[in-house]
Copies of this chain bind each other. A is one copy, B any other.
Amino acid sequence: MPLLVTGSVGIDTVRTPFGVSENCLGGSAIYFSMAASFFSSVRLVAVVGPDCPFDLSRTFAGKDVDLQGVEVRAGSRTFRWAGSYHGPMGEAITDKVELNVLAEHPPQVPAGYKDSRYVFLANTAPALQQKLLEQIDKPSFVAADTMNCWIRDHLEDLKRLLQRIDALVLNDGEARQLTSEANLTKAAKQILQMGPAIVIIKKGEHGSMMCDKDGGHFHLPGFPTGEVKDPTGAGDSFAGALMGYLAEQDRTDLEALKTAIAYGTVTASFTVEDFSTQRLASLTRADIDERLEALRKLTQF
């Protein structure tokens, strides 16, 4: 089943204890698409400026990612982000951000994409996420990501969006912020009451948890990798593999979701092993499947 993603394409500068990667390819839609493409065909909807130095057709060469939905907007500039990670690298510190094209109107969804069944709305203003969603005819499964600034400054928009999507994917700090509830199990239940049938909470190196409206639960630790060079894109590649697997299987029941989260976990564990999309670019589905089996062994008792 074709999977549509809307999100950012960015020019990143990332500093970690392992080095600096200047003006490298980044953005939620990039990490998402690369991860999802191991499982499903991907339709990428995003906007860049004419200053974008990356040849995306080369980036995605050999991968099943349709770039028809990438608009190069004349007179605008590409999103730029500079961030750094310290100590256990649990959280990025934003050193500088230029929203540029992201602060403008959202891209147009190409007519040929309107039949997309699986849709992921990567993190952006919830009103824009809703506008993008309205361009899809009859999606069967819609998931969205969000972040602290939208919860703080656009809560009403976000609550409206939550009534239109099937799954919310967010991190633990955001779940606590959205619900004013410290206990994540209780926070997840509160989020379900806001609309989505499924909530997936990402906990960085501590893995993730999922709760659904039917009382289904799933908890998985992170895949332990001794090589964490750059956590950028971990969450987006987690979501990409997760949605890619669901689209591949065309199933969103509890068992499919569990396996999808496990695929998200291992794919994200590759992403962080190198800067930017370098590790993802050299990855194969066989590598991912092998690590999935390793994760199974690591966690089963």
Contacts and interface: CB of A to CB of B under 8 A. Distances in A.
Contacts of A20: none
B183 A228 contact: yes
A208 to B, nearest CB: 9
Interface of A: 87-89, 176, 182-186, 189, 203, 205-207, 209, 217-222, 224-226, 228, 255, 258-259, 261-262, 296, 298-301
B219 A184 contact: no
A182 B89 contact: yes
How many copies, total? 2
Contact of A298 (B87, B219, B226, B296): B219
A226 B301 contact: no
25 contacts: A87-B182, A183-B226, A183-B228, A184-B205, A185-B225, A186-B226, A203-B206, A206-B221, A207-B219, A209-B221, A217-B224, A217-B298, A218-B298, A218-B301, A219-B222, A219-B298, A220-B299, A220-B301, A221-B221, A258-B301, A259-B301, A261-B301, A262-B301, A299-B300, A300-B300
Contacts of A228: 183
Nearest to A208: B221
Nearest to A300: B300
A262 B299 CA distance: 10
A178 to B, nearest CB: 15
